[in-house]
Structure 1
Amino acid sequence: MKENGKTKSARDTFTGSFGYVMATAASAVGLGNIWRFPYLAAKYGGGIFLIIYLVLVVTFGHAMLMSETALGRMTRKSAVGAFQSFGSNLPLRFGGWINAIVPMLIAPYYCFIGGWIVKYLYEYLAGNTASLAENNYFTSFITTFSSTEICFIVFTALTFLIVLMGVGNGVEKASKILMPLLVLLAIVIAVYSMTRPGAMEGVRYFFIPNFRKLSLMTLVAAMGQMFFSLSIAMGILYTYGSYLKKDGDIVKTSRLVETFDSGVSILAGLMIIPAIFAFLGGSEENIRSGPSLMFITIPKILESMGLGQIPGIIFFFMVLFAALTSSISLMESGVSTFMDQAGWSRSRSCVVMGIIMLLLGTACALGYDAWSSVQPLGMSILDFFDFLTNSIMMPLAALFTCVLIIKYAGIRSVVEEIRISSPFKGEKTYIVTIKYLAPIILIIILISSVAATFGWLKI
């Protein structure tokens, strides 16, 4: 059978399950794990947040991860083609394209933030540790277009070159090297952080649940972090599933991806939360500071240790690996869509996706400088893209996946696809989750995210 002048057998594939696990885990593990997870865990109760998050990962997250992977492998298509394989009506067309467009919009601003990491790593390599610890350094840097644009282009170029090399030579090989190294570096930094005087208070806060801190927003925040962390509703799992061979155990590989992703999140929590308690006393202002935990607080901590350069180099190398592996998967999803839908070659698809990333990423950079007065919905350009994709499009994309399975593909067909290579013992739980639990959770995420953004729900 031919598609766009190519046979199905000509489609790229991962060399094996390990390559798939590493590439998918690499997609899931990114900046959200390094700074977003610790920030949310600290803000929403520490141990109670962690428990809720892990429960959601092994239930809702597991079901959605398997579903998108199975649909990708079943159809041998990225998100748009996977949806259209079951019909051409409007809901199917919309569902496919919203899954495909999400990574095309996220990749540009993700690479822009990746450029910040390039800048910090460069400064640490150059030995400029004292300047990084200054109060106004981060703000001064992100509001200077020329500096942010150069670093953004460097990060984007790294992503482009790896994706251009293809699935086996680029995406898979990079993931096999970068992911184990990321874990190793995370373990080293976490151990160092936990052994500082006063750090055990942060460890206890992170692991021991305080049920008095349980609230609706704890549940919503844990849902959102799990949802975004596993790369659900970004078209990525459809794409990577389409590269997975029929003998790839979907149940086992999904569990491995979840374990890897959750493990790195916990390591990130152990890197950052104990350090905040050890060096800054665990104040509410510092522990809730979000991005500044990495770009402002960490340099201050390293400088206060008197060993700023070497730990700083190690830390930001690790963060660079995490950011790069995720940006690769975001770009690969867009490239796969162009290859499938337009019949373009990988190189042409990479160039088009690269142009999109450069244009939208540059808009994000200008949003902190010359275009700072441009405030869609009262947000910066970067924050607007983040709100549009994370709060609106991704929950909708996942809801359409549920509709695709329930109404068009059929739950039994997806179950049988999983059974091709997996002893599927959790079939009944999976069916209940997809039919009832997942849609409810996704609707809660969608409504609460919008309500919180517009101030209708207090966080």
Structure 2
Amino acid sequence: MKKKSSGFSGSLGFVLAAAGSAVGVGNIWRFPYLCAKDGGGLFLVVYLVLVLTFGFVLLTTDVAIGRRTKLNALNAYAALGKKWRFLGFLTFLVPALIMTYYSVIGGWILKYLTAYLTTDGSAPAQDGYFTGFITAPVAPIVFTLIFLAFTAFVVYCGVEKGIERYSRILMPGLLLLIVGIAIFSLTLSYQGEDGITRTGLQGLGVYLLPNLEGLTVQRFLQVLLDAMSQLFFSLSVSMGIMITYGSYVKDDVDLGKATNQIEIFDTAAAFLSGMMIIPAVYVFLGTEGMTFGPSLTFVSLPKVFQSMGLVGRLVGAAFFLMLGFAALTSCVSVMETLVANCMELFHKSRKQMCAVIGLYSLVTAVLICLGYNALYFELPLPNGSVGQLLDVMDYISNSFLMPFISLLTSILIGWIVGPKWICDEVQKNGEAFPRAGLYSVLVRYVVPVVMLVLFLVSTGLWKLNF
């Protein structure tokens, strides 16, 4: 295969960039509220098992495909088999859909960070603040465009001078902020109106200890499906990102070791995010705070920060700065995947494709913002939820396409190309691949079945009734 004109300088640059893509809003926002909803330690155990099995298979597959073919997702699948070229287009469609709304969420984060940096931080804790902001006609668009400009600048700078350089700065900073706030959360103590004093360590128990009360087969399967869907958010698999990043990895990099480090980095960040958020919410809002779901970050946490008093403003600023770092590195990986694929598809320069993808991202992000006011609608989705424009894009990309792509990829690698094709790439330079046997069994027999179930349930084609 031809050598890429640009790439990561080495293993560390790849790991930090890939971890930057993996450690995003999904880890810090989605993981804690799913954990709170699904029984704390029960969700943790299930998620950890899935990371060590399915996550390992999906991540290894994507990265190995990218490095061996030296192509981005659009053409990499065609290199594996001409009849599978359509799979490359499906993977291209996922980041194209995600890009429509990820910068919008980044704009929300930027708005909150600005509020904590320029005011006393009391406004974000007020009822209706979040709804009032996202339904405003101009403000959400302005903050979205600022966040999008940061993203486009990093991608424009290229792989080594842009993505790798900024990942080396942002990822250590992100990890330090997560660790710092997590430790602080454990020191909290607050006496509620009921006279009961709750502590951060008690909240840690709520987070870590499995809640098996009322556990049924149906509930366990729902926990399993939630944890599996979280893998897609956390590891950036089945959306072409890791294939693209893998195509930039040099042949002398120990691929098995690098993917293990990404798994560890990503899982540690998710675990620490839960330790950072759940104890704090428990201390100030009690067990009721565990039921706030997706609104946990933008509605519940500001109330927690306000309850902390003067220090709450500093903690709030640090939290949204950290969340901004996570959102930026993930959004960069999504845009880079689109730019890299279009560079290969249309044989244009990075500068030209950055301009085109930037314009596409701009127009679609504005439409998503307008989806909360001028273009607002409510649409019943096949998974039973009701959503508007952002929810529709998220549903198609994450609940429909990603499980479907994982299903087809596992069939392609497990039964058409053969697991040995991936294993040989991981062991290219004689490196050990201790989990080669496990990989072969999972990609052939287990992953296709589970992905089929996840796809059928996520699309509402199969109802779990026990």
Number of the residue aligned with 1:330:
334
- 3-state DSSP class of the match of 1:254? helix
CA offset at residue 327 of structure 1?
0.3
Matched, 1:278 2:283: yes
Matched, 1:302 2:305: yes
Q: Is the CA contact 1:376–1:384 (under 8 Å) kept in the aligned structure 2?
A: no
Matched, 1:129 2:130: no
Number of the residue aligned with 2:8:
14
User: Would the alpha carbon gap of residues 363 and 456 (structure 1) be closer, same or farther in structure 2, given more than 3 Å must change?
Assistant: farther
2:456 to 442, 447, 458: 447
User: Would the alpha carbon gap of residues 442 and 346 (structure 1) be closer, same or farther in structure 2, given more than 3 Å must change?
Assistant: same
1:162 to 154, 170, 183: 154
Give, as a single letter, the amino acid of the residue that structure 2 aligns with 1:445.
Answer: L
Give, as a single letter, the amino acid of the residue that structure 2 aligns with 1:131.
Answer: A
User: Would the alpha carbon gap of residues 325 and 450 (structure 1) be closer, same or farther in structure 2, given more than 3 Å must change?
Assistant: same
Which range is displaced more, 399-408 or 190-199?
A: 399-408
Number of the residue aligned with 2:206:
205
State the distance in 1 between where 2:374 and 2:304 align.
Answer: 32
State the distance in 2 between where 1:171 and 1:78 align.
Answer: 16
Q: Is the CA contact 2:43–2:227 (under 8 Å) kept in the aligned structure 1?
A: yes
CA offset at residue 161 of structure 1?
0.2
For residues 224-279 of structure 1, the C-alpha deviation after alignment (integer angstroms, 9 at most, x for no partner) is 11232111101001000000001111111111101111101111101110011100
The alignment-based identity, stated in percent, is 42
How large is the RMSD of aligned CA atoms in angstroms?
A: 1.7
Matched, 1:172 2:176: no
State the distance in 2 between where 1:51 and 1:87 align.
Answer: 38
Matched, 1:314 2:314: no
Matched, 1:373 2:381: no
- 3-state DSSP class of the match of 2:365? helix
1:260 to 243, 265, 276: 265
- 3-state DSSP class of the match of 2:348? coil
Number of the residue aligned with 1:102:
94
User: Would the alpha carbon gap of residues 382 and 45 (structure 1) be closer, same or farther in structure 2, given more than 3 Å must change?
Assistant: same
Number of the residue aligned with 1:48:
42
User: Would the alpha carbon gap of residues 105 and 168 (structure 1) be closer, same or farther in structure 2, given more than 3 Å must change?
Assistant: same
Q: How many residues align?
A: 447
State the distance in 1 between where 2:79 and 2:342 align.
Answer: 16
1:67 to 31, 43, 61: 61
State the distance in 1 between where 2:464 and 2:415 align.
Answer: 33
State the distance in 2 between where 1:51 and 1:60 align.
Answer: 14
State the distance in 2 between where 1:456 and 1:415 align.
Answer: 36
State the distance in 1 between where 2:63 and 2:338 align.
Answer: 16
Which range is displaced more, 138-147 or 79-88?
A: 79-88
Q: Is the CA contact 2:456–2:462 (under 8 Å) kept in the aligned structure 1?
A: no
Number of the residue aligned with 2:181:
189
Number of the residue aligned with 1:425:
434
Number of the residue aligned with 2:344:
340
Q: Is the CA contact 2:4–2:248 (under 8 Å) kept in the aligned structure 1?
A: no
Matched, 1:388 2:396: yes
Give, as a single letter, the amino acid of the residue that structure 1 aligns with 2:420.
Answer: R
TM-score, normalising length: structure 1: 0.94
CA offset at residue 190 of structure 1?
0.6
State the distance in 1 between where 2:273 and 2:88 align.
Answer: 33
Which range is displaced more, 122-131 or 13-22?
A: 122-131
Q: Is the CA contact 1:45–1:209 (under 8 Å) kept in the aligned structure 2?
A: yes
Unaligned 5+ residue runs, structure 1? 2-7
CA offset at residue 403 of structure 1?
2.6
User: Would the alpha carbon gap of residues 458 and 228 (structure 1) be closer, same or farther in structure 2, given more than 3 Å must change?
Assistant: farther
- 3-state DSSP class of the match of 1:425? coil
Give, as a single letter, the amino acid of the residue that structure 1 aligns with 2:233.
Answer: F
CA offset at residue 41 of structure 1?
0.5
CA offset at residue 458 of structure 1?
8.0
User: Would the alpha carbon gap of residues 397 and 137 (structure 1) be closer, same or farther in structure 2, given more than 3 Å must change?
Assistant: same
Q: Is the CA contact 1:83–1:404 (under 8 Å) kept in the aligned structure 2?
A: no
State the distance in 1 between where 2:223 and 2:433 align.
Answer: 32
CA offset at residue 457 of structure 1?
4.9
- 3-state DSSP class of the match of 1:295? coil
User: Would the alpha carbon gap of residues 455 and 411 (structure 1) be closer, same or farther in structure 2, given more than 3 Å must change?
Assistant: closer
CA offset at residue 310 of structure 1?
1.5
Q: Is the CA contact 1:29–1:229 (under 8 Å) kept in the aligned structure 2?
A: yes
State the distance in 1 between where 2:309 and 2:368 align.
Answer: 35
For residues 385-416 of structure 1, the C-alpha deviation after alignment (integer angstroms, 9 at most, x for no partner) is 00000000111111222233134433222211
Q: Is the CA contact 1:115–1:154 (under 8 Å) kept in the aligned structure 2?
A: yes
CA offset at residue 292 of structure 1?
2.0
Number of the residue aligned with 1:78:
72
Number of the residue aligned with 2:296:
293
Number of the residue aligned with 2:17:
23
User: Would the alpha carbon gap of residues 369 and 49 (structure 1) be closer, same or farther in structure 2, given more than 3 Å must change?
Assistant: same
State the distance in 2 between where 1:340 and 1:288 align.
Answer: 46
Number of the residue aligned with 2:243:
238
Give, as a single letter, the amino acid of the residue that structure 1 aligns with 2:44.
Answer: L
For residues 129-158 of structure 1, the C-alpha deviation after alignment (integer angstroms, 9 at most, x for no partner) is 111110111110010120100000001110
Q: Is the CA contact 1:111–1:327 (under 8 Å) kept in the aligned structure 2?
A: yes
CA offset at residue 424 of structure 1?
1.2
CA offset at residue 359 of structure 1?
1.7
Give, as a single letter, the amino acid of the residue that structure 2 aligns with 1:335.
Answer: V
Q: Is the CA contact 1:26–1:175 (under 8 Å) kept in the aligned structure 2?
A: yes
Q: Is the CA contact 1:153–1:358 (under 8 Å) kept in the aligned structure 2?
A: yes
Equivalent runs, 1:207-226 vs 2, <5 Å: 207-212=208-213, 213=215, 215-226=220-231
State the distance in 1 between where 2:279 and 2:139 align.
Answer: 32
Number of the residue aligned with 2:194:
none
